[in-house]
Structure 1
Amino acid sequence: MSRFVALPKGVSEETFARAISEYRALLGEGRVRTDPASLQSYMKIMIPESEELHKPSAVIYPKSVQEIQKIVGIANKYKTPLWTVSTGKNMGYGTAAPATRGQIVLDLKTMNRIVHVDEELGYCLVEPGVTYYDLQQHFKKNRMNLWVDVPAPSAMASPVGNTADRGVGYTPYGEHFLFSCGMEVVLANGDVIRTGTGGLANSSSWQTNKWGNGPYVDGLFTQSNLGIITKLGVWLMKGPPPGGYYPFLMKFPKVEMLPDIIKTLMPLRMSQIIPNACIVVNAGWEAAGYFTYDKNGKGTNRETFYKGKGSLPPKVFQQIMDKYDVGAWNFYAALYGSPEQVALNWKYVSGAFKQKFGKDVRIITEKEAKDDPIFEYRRQLMMGGSTLQEFGLYNWRGGGGSMWFAPVAARPSECEQQMKVATDILNKYGFDYVSEFIVGWRDMHHIIDLLYDRTQPEEMKRAYKCFDELLTVFTKNGYGTYRTNTAFMDKVSRSYGEGMRDIHHKLKRALDPNNILAPGKSGINLQA
């Protein structure tokens, strides 16, 4: 029986023990852990696969770029792969557990310096362990009128990690990779590069000019395993003047209104009258935000309303909507600028929806919302607020299972078609359609949370088959998946064609021939 929880593929216990000895000689025993208790939090997964498939062999906590350079040297020597995480809170797409069994988790949470914040030009340079909450507290402490765009689980996530996975948020700076500028990256051979103008000695524009000179390479290090990002520049939004932020909610009573909602808001979004990455949330996602558990694990969830098997019948869904006063669709957006500009744009926005929907739209502003917790949660997100509120969505079904299926929709008609197809497939396997559309510049990120009970083996099997069918059918219809969990990274990679997959693997062979950086990430694995 091995004295280690797991071993990397193709590495003997004796070889692995020598590697661990070298890691500990470099970092000390406290920052190189192999005991089950220390690895427990890195074994927790939300995908419908056995934890055995994703067990790490060790966890390492570096504190500097120089240490990471030496770590990759040891990893190359002993062929011990490194699965890099920043805070490990990749909710919906995986946790801190590696894609394949036996990888060493390289946890960068101990690299948590806010290197620089420039209030005048509106940017920051941060390490991977910095969270969105850390930045918010820094702005508050130093009285800086700056906002950083945050994803839904905002307080716990890392700007470096979320940007590297091309996540999105809810302010006008919602496309996170688009609003990043300049990376420091450790390559698999230990070299350190700075992208953009960062390679220029004493560069004064590393976080202000994205392109530098020659081919633009920053994208190579997003959703990839070609390097370890150790610093990232993030553009920050200047907070508007008093009276210049106006969040609002519109509730719609019928599911079939979705294409008309999107059709009405898109011209306002494209003209920047509505400048933020606004969202259209379905009843399930919205209602789940009100679900709570007490300290004994009891409380309100879908099972409170329906104890039968399978997906919720329409009548039960309506009961939940009525209890929590949520629409079939709930549209959150905000206006930004001077008070005069906001007042004028509100006339355009409210007028457009009243003209289209009449009495079938209920408009709620901050004044009407009062102390509603979900409105407050969304209000904070749309102004870059890092909330510590529990993400109530995971109380919907209970049991700890969650996979976010994330196809892209480009037109109102596609939103409707995707909703119908997804609902049919989810209901076929006994699951509910719980979703939101995040409205970008020219597309919508259709985030569907497949929530299931991981404590039920039969339900885990159904969840896996359901996600697999969603991915198969959406791909066949030409709907690309922009981000996925570790169980389906290879299949998503193949959906984009062998040409692109071949380029990814050529880059991997060139930059990481020993396959030591996160094999399996985004379907890139030289051992597969």
Structure 2
Amino acid sequence: MSEKFFTAVRSQLGDDVVDVSDNAIARYGSNRLPGGDRRPSGVLLPASTEDVQAIVRLAGQHKVSLWPTSTGQNLGLGEYSPVREGHVVVDLGRRMNRVLEINELLGYAVLEPGVTFRQLRAELARRGDKLMLSGTSGPPDGGVLGNALDRGAGYTPYFDHFGMLVGQEIVLPDGQVLHTGDGTLPGSRMRYLNKSGFGPMLEGLFSQSNYGIVTSAAVWLMPRPPVIRAFGFTFPDDEDLAEIMDVVRGLKLANVVPTLIKVTSGHYGFGTETTYPGYQPGAPTLPDDTRRELEQRYGTGAWTVTGAFYGPSMAALDPLIDRVREQFEASGKATYLSHEQIESSPVFRIHLDTFSGEPTESELGLLNWRPGAGATWFLPATPVVGEIAQQHQELSRRILTEHGFEYTVEFVCGPRAARALHLIIYNRSDQGERERMRDCYTALVEAYDAIGYPIGRAPTDWQEKAMRRLPELSRVCGAIKGALDPDGVIAPGKYGIL
């Protein structure tokens, strides 16, 4: 069936759109997850929305399932690799990578799926740096739209990347095109300015789902402030997390700090600059005394807390810096990190970059902590309440230690909830570590479910299991899938939707 499909695509769109080489199938099937590589049956490289429409229609005719992806840089969540073997990967990043429009007056950029954070940052700089993007601390070559559609987030006031996405152009499973929001009216001049158009808000249907293929959208951008001034603190003990989170909650609820506030474990800092000392296959969790030594050597403490202020000048921000210092230093346990210290440190500079809309590769050093290129993200949320955050820390440390892995965590804190980003690095070439990683992820999900704190984003090798935990959501999502895509043309099984 696939061969006839590929022949039809070549006939309609040209030979250069289809790649079924062994190298392509291996590359697009590889990932860092413990479930193993998931090889597609081929790769398609559309260059336009019209190409995507043609591919979708042909897939329906030939009963082929497609796996749309953009830049494949969601490291630790699946990369290009489909949720199931045999899907045909539709790589929207290779040839659909244009910045279609930048409106500096109203603060938005219209992008195709292949536009990366690095590419958008360069274009904004070329135009005079009037606007600032909200980036992630992940790969600069990640796709802006793909990150937003999977509900990734950043650190600036525009951190809610999906919330800042507007005017989606979507190819539906029957090959028809839908424009969301005020874009549904042909010729509308409000498409990129207003999410709340006539009727139901449909944007959410196409986030973490398989109901259509987004081929363009606008992302809202923030005016770049004249001055960005970072602040930071380190705390010496694991148990200090409770105090930290209670201070963070007060600052964010009162909107004192405009950025999100990052609370990172010591290992999340020093792990960007060093590797597991003396690693041997099957190594257990890094001993506490070694961890403490590395925390002192790299100056991270058990916890590093960072945020930033925006203003007309450094001096104008002095009163705000004094205010946060008073809050965090009240117990006598915090050590203050000035903007200059953060800017000059390879461990801390990443925080300033993320608050400044600067794509950075600094955090990618964490992927080398153990050999073997294995990485999985565990992504629950935590209330910004000290006692609960401390309980979550103890729970995660216990499970990770039982399975032989390090507690490498970044809490990205708003006023009420924090994204608790657990990055678990393991040796994927070691069968024992791979099995322990699989068991560890299961144990973490089950433990957090049991106390009422479910995961958000999930790696592709766990998405179908994750949906089975949620019968109400599964029933409704399945009904929508059946109505829009009864033949399963687009990514059946993505986020468990069938």
In which range does the TM-score fall when normalised by the shorter chain? Answer: over 0.9
Q: 2:129 aligns with which of 144, 152, 173?
A: 144
Q: 1:259 aligns with which of 233, 242, 250?
A: 242
Deviation of 1:223 after TM superposition, in Å, equals 0.3
Aligned partner of 1:30 among 16, 20, 24 = 16
Q: Which of residues 495, 501, 509 in structure 1 aligns to 2:482?
A: 509
Give the alignment partner of residue 71 of structure 1, picking from 28, 48, 55. 55
Structure 1: runs of 5+ lacking an equivalent: 1-14, 292-300
Which residue of 191, 194, 211 maps to 2:196?
211
Number of residue pairs matched by the alignment: 495
Give the equivalent residue in structure 2 for 1:463.
437
CA contact (8 A) 2:2 2:41 kept: no
Q: Is the 8 A contact 1:303 1:397 kept in 2?
A: no
Aligned to 2:205: 220
Gaps of 5+ in 2: none
Alignment check: 8 A CA contact 1:34 1:58 kept: yes
Name whichever of 277-286 and 364-373 sits farther off. Answer: 364-373
Q: Is the 8 A contact 2:376 2:425 kept in 1?
A: yes
CA contact (8 A) 2:72 2:79 kept: yes
Task: Provide the C-alpha distance between the structure 2 equivalents of 1:489 and 1:390, rounded to a whole number of angstroms.
Answer: 25
Residue 307 to residue 507, structure 1, CA distance change in 2 (3 Å): closer
Cα RMSD between the aligned structures? 1.5
> Does the 8 A contact of 1:24 with 1:32 survive in 2?
yes
Output one character per residue of 1:59-85: Cα deviation in whole Å (capped at 9) or x when no partner.
000001111111001100111111111
Cα 1:259–1:493 shift into 2, 3 Å: same
Native 8 Å contact 1:85 1:108 kept in 2: yes
State the one-letter code of the partner of 2:463.
M
Aligned mates of 1:312, 1:388 — CA distance in 2: 24
Partner of 1:3: none
| Aligned pairs for 1:139-218 within 5 A | 139-218=124-203
SS at the partner of 1:89? Answer: coil
Q: Separation in 2 of the partners of 1:344 and 1:338?
A: 13
Is residue 2:350 matched to residue 1:381?
no
Question: 2:105 and 2:14 mapped to 1: Cα distance?
Answer: 41
1:18 maps onto 2:29 in alignment:
no
Give runs of ≥4 in structure 1 deviating > 6 Å: 305-308
- 1: distance between equivalents of 2:491 and 2:317? 46
Tell me by how many angstroms 1:313 deviates: 1.6
From 350, 356, 368, the counterpart of 2:325: 350
SS where residue 269 of structure 1 aligns? helix
Once the two structures are TM-superposed, the CA of residue 210 in structure 1 deviates from its matched residue by: 1.1
> 1:377 corresponds to which letter in structure 2?
I
Q: SS of 2:60's equivalent?
A: helix
Q: CA deviation at 1:308?
A: 7.9
TM-score by length of structure 2 reads 0.96
Q: Structure 2 counterpart of 1:136, which letter? A: R
Kept in 2, the 8 Å contact 1:175–1:440? The answer is no
Q: CA deviation at 1:322?
A: 2.1
Q: Counterpart of 2:437 in structure 1: which amino acid?
A: A
Whichever residue aligns with residue 204 of structure 1, its letter is: R
Query: Within 5 Å, which residues of 2 pair with 1:106-121?
Result: 106-109=90-93, 110-121=95-106
Contact 2:211–2:485 (Cα < 8 Å) also in 1 = yes
Tell me the equivalent position of 2:219.
234
Secondary structure of 1:385's aligned partner? coil
3-state SS, counterpart of residue 342 of structure 1: helix
> Over residues 277-330 of structure 1, what are the superposed CA-to-partner deviations in whole Å (9 max), with x where a residue is unaligned?
221000111111112xxxxxxxxx113378883111211111211222221000
Match of 1:522 in 2: 495
What code does the residue aligned with 1:379 have? L
Q: Percent identity?
A: 32
- What SS class does the counterpart of residue 329 from structure 2 fall into? helix
Mapped pair 1:47 → 2:38: no
The answer to which of 146-155 and 499-508 deviates more is 146-155
1: CA distance, partners of 2:430 / 2:281: 15
| AA matched with 1:281 | T
The equivalent of 1:429 in structure 2 is 403
Aligned to 1:287, which of 259, 265, 270?
Answer: 270
TM-score normalised according to structure 1 size? 0.91
- Aligned ranges for residues 466-485 of structure 1 at < 5 Å? 466-485=440-459
